[in-house]
Amino acid sequence: MMASRPLAILNARLVDPASGQDAPGALLVKNGKIADVVFGGELGSLSDEIETLDARGAMLSPGLIDLRVKTGEPGAEPKETLKSAALAAAAGGVTSIVVQPDTSPVVDDPSVVDFILRRARDIELVHVYPAGAATKGLAGERMAEIGLMRDAGCVYVTDADHPIVNSKVFRRLLAYARSFGVLVAHRPADPWLSAGAAATEGELAGRMGLPSVPPIAEKIMLERDLALVELTGGRLLVDQITTACALESLERGKARGLDVTATTSINHLSFNEVDIGDYRTFCKVDPPLRGEDDRQAVIEALASGLIDIVVSAHAPAPAEDKRLPYDEAAPGAVGLQTLLPALLAFHHEGRIPLIDLMAKVTSRPAALLGLPAGRLAKGAPADLVLCDLAAPMVVELADLKSKSKNSPFDGRRLQGVVRMTLVDGRVVYRRD
């Protein structure tokens, strides 16, 4: 790979949650690293070999790290390939993605982990990290080769959208993963209450005649998971918490000192069940969109720090899987390109300070996975996003880089346009 020309980004608003800095400044990129960063000042004299870019006050922050991304590769490439997902990520300012194991074949073997890492290296866009399956074939019965997959490069284990029902298996999983220092991610959803659900139980779902799941299903499974974390001393990543009642359980678990980290999705922060509208399948996601009271509770939990990380929950589905009756349509929404501008809405509304918002998608996920990125510091990888915070945009499906176009943000007006994305000092996206 050819070395990129050194680049100095001047007159930027530097936002670095890792150090708590939010100030005007400048940054120098050289040999794939941050060679210098100056908060509240300017770089010294620059040689002619250094390219300069006037940021004109745009935000320069660490590139986003998205912990939950689905692709179709291997096995369902018409939905999404690793390359199309990487292109979407770069256009959205996302410099690192963690891909889920529910592919064909399932990522439950070191050889599949190695395949994904080799494909990502060939693509040379964003960093791609595989999540390994927690159980063989995602069946919830036998543990996968956790230690071998960790050695091959997987960053955590999960059965993705498949709750592990057997408590004995989940207990063993937490204990075994702990011995290898491996994080376990799990979706809190009681499988019997959730089976076949297309919406959240309530007046709206009843009126629309949709099979539904009560919010308590999330709390029931989370309570079990927290009890087993306490028993085993394992590390748990709560995969997309979305209800007020489950937040109460999470708060008690954290107060007991359990090693628990929680994510929520940008979809559940931005939409509620009413957005289903006239059976709008682009708004069918898993977990289903919740009531407005739950959405507001999740926003408050994000602001307070109870929820640690925001994910795109990127889940591509082609048109033929979405153009079906609502309860038959595939769940999921693409979100890599809309994650940052949608998250910035809470900054523009004055709900959450900008530096706190950016921590949820930069320094917090980096610290959780032990990644060197996620910070503006000398010697750190030059994984960066330059974003014009004030620039308006309208989400148009034709502009999405994903192969699938199933975005609930279609037509929504947002503020925050990505001007440039760098990965290891290479410009992987530049807006015309």
Q: Which CATH number goes with the domain that contains 96?
A: 3.20.20.140
User: Residue 400 domain-assigned?
Assistant: no
User: Residue 255 domain-assigned?
Assistant: yes
pLDDT tens sequence across 13-22: 999 999 999 9
pLDDT score, position 4:
79
Neighbouring C-beta atoms of residue 256, cutoff 10 Å: 11
Cβ within 8 Å of residue 154, ≥6 positions away: 107, 113, 129, 130, 131, 132
Q: Which residues pair with 60 in a beta bridge?
A: 14, 386
pLDDT tens sequence across 46-79: 898 999 999 999 999 999 999 999 999 999 999 9
pLDDT tens sequence across 134-154: 999 999 999 999 999 999 999
The span from the CA of 186 to the CA of 260, in Å, is 11
The span from the CA of 146 to the CA of 107, in Å, is 11
Query: 76 and 53 share a domain?
Result: no
Radius of gyration of the chain (CA): 21
The span from the CA of 94 to the CA of 65, in Å, is 6
CATH number, domain of 30, equals: 2.30.40.10
User: Residue 397 domain-assigned?
Assistant: no
User: Residue 14 domain-assigned?
Assistant: yes
Residue whose structure tokens are 């330059």: 386
Q: Which of 369, 401, 419 is the last residue of a domain?
A: 369
The C-alpha angle with vertex 323 and arms to 99 and 275, in degrees rounded to 5, equals: 75
C-beta of residue 289 within 8 angstroms of C-beta of residue 275: yes
C-beta of residue 120 within 8 angstroms of C-beta of residue 85: no
C-beta of residue 318 within 8 angstroms of C-beta of residue 302: no
Query: 48 and 98 share a domain?
Result: no
The span from the CA of 349 to the CA of 299, in Å, is 12
pLDDT score, position 3:
60
Query: 123 and 210 share a domain?
Result: yes
Query: 265 and 278 share a domain?
Result: yes
Query: 132 and 226 share a domain?
Result: yes
Query: 357 and 386 share a domain?
Result: no
Query: 216 and 360 share a domain?
Result: yes
C-beta of residue 344 within 8 angstroms of C-beta of residue 409: no
Cα-to-chain-centroid distance, residue 348: 21
Residues of the chain with pLDDT under 70: 1-3
Of 394, 412, 387, 400, the C-alpha closest to 267 is 412
Q: Which residues pair with 13 in a beta bridge?
A: 24, 59
Query: 112 and 31 share a domain?
Result: no
pLDDT score, position 88:
98
Query: 148 and 227 share a domain?
Result: yes
Query: 227 and 203 share a domain?
Result: yes
Q: Token pair for residue 194?
A: 């959730």
Number of domains, the chain: 2
C-beta of residue 400 within 8 angstroms of C-beta of residue 337: yes
Query: 120 and 166 share a domain?
Result: yes
The span from the CA of 106 to the CA of 385, in Å, is 32
User: Residue 398 domain-assigned?
Assistant: no
Of 62, 116, 60, the C-alpha closest to 85 is 116
Query: 47 and 107 share a domain?
Result: no
Which domain does 26 fall in, by range?
Answer: 7-60+380-390+409-430
C-beta of residue 297 within 8 angstroms of C-beta of residue 244: yes
Q: Token pair for residue 289?
A: 């969109």
3-state secondary structure the chain: CCCCCCEEEEEEEEEECCCCEEEEEEEEEECCEEEEEEECCCCCCCCCCCEEEECCCCEEEECEEEEEECCCCCCCCCCCCHHHHHHHHHHCCEEEEEECCCCCCCCCCHHHHHHHHHHHHHHCCCEEEECEECEHHHCCCCECCHHHHHHHCCCCEECCCCCCCCHHHHHHHHHHHHHCCCCEEECCCCHHHHCCCCEECCHHHHHHCCCEECCHHHHHHHHHHHHHHHHHCCCEEECCCCCHHHHHHHHHHHHCCCCEEEEEEHHHHHCCHHHHCCCCHHHCCCCCCCCHHHHHHHHHHHHHCCCCEEECCECCCCHHHHCCCHHHCCCCECCCCCHHHHHHHHHHCCCCCHHHHHHCCCHHHHHHHCCCCCCCCCCCECCEEEEEEEEEEECCHHHCCCCCCCCCCCCCEEEEEEEEEEECCEEEEECC
Of 101, 15, 88, 97, the C-alpha closest to 58 is 15
